[in-house]
Amino acid sequence: MSAEDTLLYLDGVSVSFDGFRALNNLSLVMMPGEMRAIIGPNGAGKTTMMDVITGKTRPDHGTILFEGATDLTRLREASIANLGIGRKFQRPTVFEPHTVWDNLELALKAPRRPLKTLTYAIGRDDKARIEEILEITRLSPKRDRLAGSLSHGEKQWLEIGMLLAQEPKLLLVDEPVAGMTDAETEQTAELLCGIAGKHSVIVVEHDMSFVRALGVKVTVLAEGSVLAEGSLDAVSANSQVIDTYLGR
Amino acid sequence: MRRALRWFMACWLMAVCVVAATSTAALAADLRPLVQALGTGGYAGTEKALAQLSEAGDPAAVPVIEALQAGDLYVRKADGAVVVARKAGADFALTDPLSGADLGPAASGAVDKVKVNNALRRAISASLGALTLMSPDAAVRRSAADAVFKSRDASALDTLNAALAKETDSGVRRAMEQARAAVILTAGASDPDTQAAVATLAGRGDRDALALLTMVAASGASDAAKSAAAAAVASVEQKLAFWAALQNLWYGLSLGSVLLLAAIGLAVTFGVMGVINMAHGEMVMIGAYTTFLVQELFRAHAPGLFDLSILVALPAAFLVAGGVGIAIERSVIRWLYGRPLETLLATWGLSLALQQAVRSIFGPSNREVGAPSWMSGAFELGGLTITYGRLWIVIFAFAVFATLLVALKRTWFGLSIRAVTQNRPMANAMGIRTARVDALTFGLGSGIAGLAGVALSQIDNVSPNLGQGYIIDSFMVVVFGGVGNLWGTLVGALTLGTLNKFLEPYAGAVLGKILVLIFIILFIQRRPRGLFALKGRAVEA
Amino acid sequence: MLTRFFLMGLDRKAGVVLTILALLAVLVPVMTLLVPADSPFHMSVFTVSLLGKYLCFALLALALDLVWGYVGILSLGHAAFFALGGYAMGMYLMRQIGPRGVYGNPVLPDFMVFLNWTELPWYWLGFDQFWFAALMVLAVPGALAFAFGWFAFRSRVTGVYLSIITQALTFALLLAFFRNDMGFGGNNGLTDFKEILGADIQAPGTRVGLFVATVVALALSYMIASGIIASKLGKVLVAVRDTEGRVRFLGYDTESYKLFAWTLSACMAGVAGALYVPQVGIINPSEFAPASSIEAVIWVAVGGRGTLAGAILGAVLVNFGKSYFTGALPELWLFALGGLFVAVTLFLPKGLLGLGAQLAAKLPGNRAGNKSVPGGKTADQKGM
């Protein structure tokens, strides 16, 4: 497989903090339109992997290419986001002093330079797009509420909505169903499956039933590198995975 | 300088004539006629006789010349005899200048003083220098050699050669050789002699030697001698630059230890607890005023024990400043944990109030804090001059630093502090009373600031504004060194102190300070977490 | 386009502020120049200048609130930009003195003659022209803020660290301006001004004119600031204040947003300083003292951080209090100011304008658990 056809290409990526190897020679390939679930024990490097892809952490070694050509290790967070990589955090992070509508408006794909935002006036298309996302995330009735006053689950949905508004090519989703009810979890799985195809998605999740509901290829991380890759059933049967993560 | 040179030349010319006329006769002659001649012929006569006396090279002449120097040499009007006269009541008691025999009293009108002018005074010290070179006491010989080195009196050369031939003490010998070289270079000599003298002076290597060598390098000596002198000048300059750099290093260390003292307390409150205490400088000020009060008590009740006052002031300042710190923590800061910017504003307000309080109680002017005797004075170490006060402050700063380091690493209290800063809920669950640890930690930081105040009272003006001068510097040290790292504070303080002192000679004190500030601003922007940054995920949140 | 921008920020609060300012701009000239001196409604020229001074401080507070209240940058060095603007205006006023100085030199200000200087330093050239000085009032603080901010924001210096280096910045400038050979009058600063734009600077008409200019500048700045806050850019700024890291992952280059607000704020502070100098008649290095910057912060805190109108209210109230105390009970002023710092941070975290909301929140059943622990994360420091 050559790097040119891939959407995201990680090769031999290592990061260490004060001697602790958070990522150890990690390699991973994502194709356009693919959805991937990533599982692994705490400290396996799942969040650090997202950090190096989005530019928050610089890797000590290794290559990270986006769309086969752009070297992400040299770019700052904002530039990487503008290439089309969106991220949802483990702890839902929304702009609490702003309304739900304003949160989506800020996330909406539009020119990002200060002078453009100073003179920005929302147009018909943008309004329709926000309405659409409000529908998808079931937040329409709460559009004028301050984001800070939403429940935990609603904040998760709002953040997913913001991710959609960005229209990224690749979505990195960290534990999207933490703190959600079973029904909400199911809806989230549907939503993410709907997104895949148009966009590529990487989901990090502990909830096995959610991962099963996604029904996609699974990568198991342990101690900063890939332990196993394949369908959920296949990796669940892998003895190494059972030892380090699932338990007997 | 030039006038001194001209004088040396005149003196030398005269000495050459005198030597030519009298050398053979004077050596054999009794000293008495020469002493007698001191009293005749006015200044010129005295000067001539004096030169002959030094030529004679007999140490017996020393008391006579010393009497002349002290203004005790008189001529008895009755017989023209030169005598030593000292006031005894209304009259003079006369003694023989050479033997010291008592010659009985004389009315003040019966004697005439042998007058001395400036030229004579110099000749006197030069000849005393030459004559004492023969003294049996090594220390006297040594200081005599130094005197000759300074006067460069050519008439001392023969005595110097004679003294060198007999000299056994290597230190004195070196001093004499240097004096001889100075005389030779001033007077001018044959080429090999000049070059040997240049080599000797190059070995001496101080500013006086440098002046002489520079003169030779620019003089009419031979090319070989001139280039030797130029090389010697270069090497001496190098040596001097080395000592100057070392002296600067000492000043830097001294300033650095002052900064360290002011910043250690801040390293505890800001570095360990994350509390921005803008009233930290006022804790230093309170320490200084406590010192003042303790000294007042000693002055009033036990002036004999004044030297101990600083030792009493140390614990007193620690307790007073620490107490104020605990009061501040309990009343204000504990409500503001986790809101550093609000803490900054509230403690700034406290600093204004504390300054005004001290101003209202003690008045706005500077208060006098004395230095104990063991902290005054200075000593020389090679080419360095070190004052005891500064030395003690350097020692004290390092002692405080080491004590704090041990206290945080090795004691139960230190363990509690670290436990509370690292994981508050867990520490709480394990039975550590976190509120008390907070208060005591803040008290510790403030108390250390109080200790700094005791030291600073020795070198700075004790006024209500004392603390304001240190607060920005202290923050710079802590931030530069890396927050939460005591070693960083140490390195930060010493680096900034030294940097300041090395910039000062080139840029001046104010511009130097501005440059250091700009340097820190740029540095923080390059490494926002300071010199010794903690790395890893924990600090990135 | 521009009108839409200005109208965007016009809410009810802005209406109140602008109405009061408009009333001041009309009533003060009438009361000073038209009402006879023996009438109880007459206003003395002294009072006009005092009010003008308060409004200059209000403009400084407004500038500070823009960066502190909306972007979370607590500047402890904003008085530096104020003073730089003041010096630029002071240099123009010095050049206007011309041969009327004590030494009668037609070009060189007195202090330069005193220092035996023979010609004007290059950086004094052009200041005899008002338009040039006016440009410098904006350009000098703006350029310094831009350069400083460019370094600081790109290196991601935030929170307390940023505050401390802004303090170091103004401290360095303080030391520099005290030096005689800097060519700004050293310790004494610039003073003894005679006229501005050809008008006698002491004349009541000029005083009133300066006052009206200050009101206009304040009103314009208020409209610019509230327009920015209401725009999408303002929303980005507020988002940067609370969760800067998250904004970056949305693709916004947060550094340039902060730099924009920071530089604009410095220019506003410069204008405030430039209006302040002709009204008080002097500018000297003490304006750079870190204490002046921190005092400006407390004006904003008293009125209410992040409200714009609160900054104006706070600046006027605190300075009115200062005039009263330093006249009546000078010993107590620092106690009062110090107490104000503590009281506002402990009891009035949202300032006077936030008092209503704060009281509502105190009602039973509405208690927000605001845990505070040392070393904990804060809104200002929270990064990603």
Q: pLDDT digits over C320-348, tens only?
A: 999 999 888 888 898 999 999 999 999 98
What integer pLDDT is reported at residue C349 of this predicted model? 86
CB pairs under 8 A between B and C: 150
Length of chain A in residues, anyone?
Answer: 248
Domain-embedded: residue B472? yes
pLDDT at residue number B275: 83
Residue A66 near residue A184 (C-beta atoms within 8 A): no
Beta partners for residue A199, in sequence order: A196
What sign does the dihedral B426-B430-B433-B437 (CA atoms) show? Answer: negative
Is the CB of residue B277 less than 8 Å from the CB of residue B296? no
So what's the pLDDT on residue C380? 37
Residue among A234, A230, A239 nearest A38 (CA): A230
Contacts of A17 in chain B (CB under 8 A): 535-537
Contact between B74 and B82 under an 8 Å Cβ cutoff? The reply is yes
Percent of chain B with pLDDT over 70: 92
- In which band, very low, low, confident or very high, does the pLDDT at C367 lie, cut at 50, 70 and 90? very low
The single-letter DSSP state of residue A7 is: S
Residue type, B196: A
Statement: residue B35 has pLDDT above 60: yes
**Per-residue model confidence (pLDDT) at position B93:** 83
Predicted confidence (pLDDT) at residue B191 exceeds the cutoff of 80: no
- Choice between A120 and B316, residue whose per-residue pLDDT is larger: B316
For residue B519, CA distances in Å to A47, B516, C84, C168, C174 come to 37, 5, 22, 11, 16
From chain C, pick out residues whose CB is under 8 angstroms from the CB of A87: 249
pLDDT band with cut points at 50, 70 and 90 for residue C125: very high
For the ranges A194-198, B56-60, B116-120, C14-18, the lowest mean pLDDT is seen at: B56-60
Q: List Cβ neighbours of A197 (8 Å cut-off, separation of 6 or more).
A: A33
Least confident of A172-181, B304-313, C173-182, C258-267: A172-181
Contact with chain B for residue C371, Cβ under 8 A: yes
pLDDT tens digits for range B137-149: 777 788 888 877 8
SS (H, E, C) B387-399: EHHHHHHHHHHHH
**Alpha-carbon dihedral sign for residues B248, B254, B257, B259:** negative
Tell whether the model's pLDDT for residue B156 goes beyond 60: yes
Report residue A171: phi and psi, to 5°.
-110, 130
Find the mean pLDDT for residues A138-154.
90
In a domain, B211, yes or no: no
Longest dimension (CA), chain B: 107
DSSP result, A146-214: BGGGS-HHHHHHHHHHHHHHH--SEEEEESTTTT--HHHHHHHHHHHHHHBTTBEEEEE---HHHHHHH
Q: What is the mean pLDDT of residues B285-295?
A: 94
**End position of a domain, from candidates B182, B199, B234:** B182
- What Cα–Cα distance (Å) separates residue C224 from each residue in B348, C63, C134? 32, 11, 19
In this structure, are strands A85-88 and A170-174 parallel, antiparallel, or unpaired?
parallel
Does B235 map to a domain?
no
Instruction: Give the residue among C50, C138, C86, C143 at the shortest CA–CA distance from C284.
Output: C86
Query: Has residue B172 been placed in a domain?
Result: yes
The shortest CB-CB distance from B341 to any of C171, C331, C380 is to C380
At C266, list the tokens: 């410095």
Instruction: Name residues whose C-beta falls within 8 Å of residue A98's C-beta, 6 or more positions apart in sequence.
Output: A106, A146, A147, C235, C238, C239
Residue A79: is its pLDDT beyond 50? Answer: yes
- Kindly state whether residues B41 and B81 are assigned to the same domain: no
Residue B24 is predicted with a pLDDT of: 38
Q: Does C384 touch chain A (CB under 8 A)?
A: yes
Structure confidence at residue B248 (pLDDT)? 86
**Which among C294, C346, C376 has CB closest to B337?**
C376
Q: Which of B3-7, B330-334, B378-382, B426-430 has the lowest mean pLDDT?
A: B3-7
Q: Which residues in C lie closer than 8 A to residue A112 (C-beta atoms)? A: 251-253
Three-state secondary structure call for residue A71: strand
- In the predicted model, is pLDDT for residue B441 greater than 60? yes
Give the model's pLDDT for residue A189.
86
CA-to-CA distance for A95 and A43, rounded, in angstroms? 28
What's the pLDDT band for C363 if we cut at 50, 70, 90?
Answer: low
Amino acid letter for position B324: V
CA nearest B146: which of B189, B176, B173, B120? B176
- pLDDT for the residue numbered B5: 56
Query: What's the pLDDT band for B88 if we cut at 50, 70, 90?
Result: confident
- Percent of chain C residues past pLDDT 90, beyond the cut: 68
Query: For residue A10, what pLDDT is reported?
Result: 92
Q: Give the mean model confidence (pLDDT) for residues C21-40.
A: 92
- At C287, which amino acid appears? E
> CA C39: distance to chain centroid?
34
Give yes or no for a contact between C239 and A95, defined as CB atoms under 8 angstroms apart.
yes
Place of tokens 């730089």: C84
Specify whether B154 is located in the same domain as B87.
no
Q: Give the helix/strand (H/E) hosting B422.
A: helix B412-422
If one compares B517 and C8, the residue with the highest pLDDT of the two is B517
Tell me what the mean pLDDT of segment A220-232 comes to. Answer: 88
Residue C363, amino acid: L
pLDDT recorded at residue A240: 80
To the question of domain A3-246 being in CATH 3.30.460.10, the answer is no
Domain that holds residue B142: 2-70+118-182
Cβ distance A191 to A197 under 8 Å? no
Q: Is the pLDDT of residue A19 over 80?
A: no
- Residues on chain C touching A117 (C-beta within 8 angstroms): 231-233, 236
How high is the pLDDT of residue B13?
A: 55
**Tokens at residue B255, please?**
């300033």
Locate B412 and state its tokens.
């139960």
- B374 vs C315, higher pLDDT: C315
Q: What percent of chain B has pLDDT over 90?
A: 20
What are the structural domain ranges in chain C?
2-289
Q: Cα separation of A176 and A153, whole Å?
A: 9
Q: Which residues of C touch A107 (CB under 8 A)?
A: 250
Q: What residues contact residue B377 under an 8 Å CB cut-off, 6+ apart? A: B387, B388
Same domain, B173 and B274: no
B264 and B176 together in one domain: no
pLDDT tens readout for residues C258-310: 999 999 999 999 999 999 999 999 999 999 999 999 999 999 999 999 999 99
Between B138-151 and B118-132, two packed helices, what is the crossing angle to 10 degrees? 140
Q: What is the pLDDT of residue C278?
A: 96
Is the pLDDT assigned to residue A4 strictly greater than 80?
no
Q: Is B274 on the interface with C (CB under 8 A)?
A: yes
Inter-chain touch B346–C345, beta carbons under 8 Å: yes
The verdict on C175 touching B (C-beta cutoff 8 Å) is yes
Beta strands at A70-71 and C282-283: parallel, antiparallel or unpaired:
unpaired
Query: What is the longest distance spanned by two Cα atoms in chain A?
Result: 60
CA distance A238 to chain C (A): 35
Q: Report yes or no: C369 at the B interface, CB cutoff 8 Å.
A: no
Closest residue in chain A to residue B533, using alpha carbons only: A18
| SS3 category, B88 | strand
Give the mean pLDDT of C345-371. Answer: 70
- The mean per-residue pLDDT over the stretch B147-174 comes to 78
- Beta carbons within 8 Å of B188's beta carbon, 6+ residues apart: B194, B221
CA distance A168 to A82: 8
Q: What is the pLDDT of residues C76-100, one digit of tens each?
A: 999 999 999 999 999 999 999 988 8
What are the structural domain ranges in chain A?
3-246
- The per-residue pLDDT for B449 is 94
- Amino acid B82: pLDDT: 84
Q: Is B261 exposed, middle or buried (0-12, 13-18, 19+ CB in 10 A)?
A: buried
A48 to chain C: which residues are within 8 Å by CB?
A: none
Q: How confident is the model at residue B9 (pLDDT cuts 50, 70, 90)?
A: low
Query: pLDDT per residue over A81-122, tens digit each?
Result: 999 999 988 888 899 999 999 999 999 998 999 988 888 888
Q: pLDDT above 90 covers what percent of chain A?
A: 40
* C256 touching chain A per CB within 8 A: yes
Q: Are residues B151 and B132 in the same domain?
A: yes
Closest CA to C28 of C41, C11, C13, C10: C41
More confident site: C292 or A4: C292
For C:311-350, CB contacts with B below 8 A are: 331, 334-335, 337-342, 344-346, 349
Judged by a CB distance cut-off of 8 A, whether residue C338 touches chain A is no
Q: Which of residues 471-490 of B touch C (CB under 8 A)?
A: 472, 475-476, 479
* Residue C13: predicted pLDDT: 86
Domain assignment of residue B189, yes or no: no
Between B152 and C340, the more confident residue is C340
DSSP A118: H
Interface ipTM: 0.90
The residues near C81 (Cβ < 8 Å, ≥ 6 apart) are: C63, C141, C144, C145, C265, C266, C267, C269, C270, C273
C172 inside 8 A of chain B by CB: yes
What part of C 291-310 touches B (C-beta under 8 Å)? 294, 297-298, 301
Number of domains chain B is built from: 3
The residues facing A65 across adjacent strands are A9, A71
Q: Which 3 state secondary structure label does DSSP give A247?
A: coil
> Which residues, including other chains, have CB under 8 Å from residue A89's CB and lie 6 or more apart?
A159, A174, C246, C384
Domain-terminating residue out of B62, B86, B113: B113
CA C65 from chain centre, in angstroms, equals 9
Residue A42 at interface with chain B, using a CB cutoff of 8 Å = no
Backbone φ and ψ for B429, nearest 5 degrees, come out as -65, -30
In terms of domains, do B258 and B383 share one? Answer: yes
Average pLDDT of chain C? 89
Mean pLDDT over each residue of chain B, to the nearest integer:
82
Closest CB to C232 among A86, A117, A162: A117
Name chain B contacts of C156, Cβ cutoff 8 Å: 528
* Pair B323, B366 in one domain: yes
| Contact between chains at B351 and C338 (C-beta distance less than 8 A) | yes
Q: Is A145 on the interface with C (CB under 8 A)?
A: no
Mean pLDDT value across residues C169-197: 91
Joined together, the tokens standing for residue A89 give 């955090």
Strand partners, A229: A219
Q: For B525, which of C157, C159, C176 is closest by C-beta distance?
A: C157
Q: Check if the beta carbon of residue C205 is closer than 8 Å to that of residue C33.
A: yes
Q: What are the helix (H) ranges across B267-279? A: none
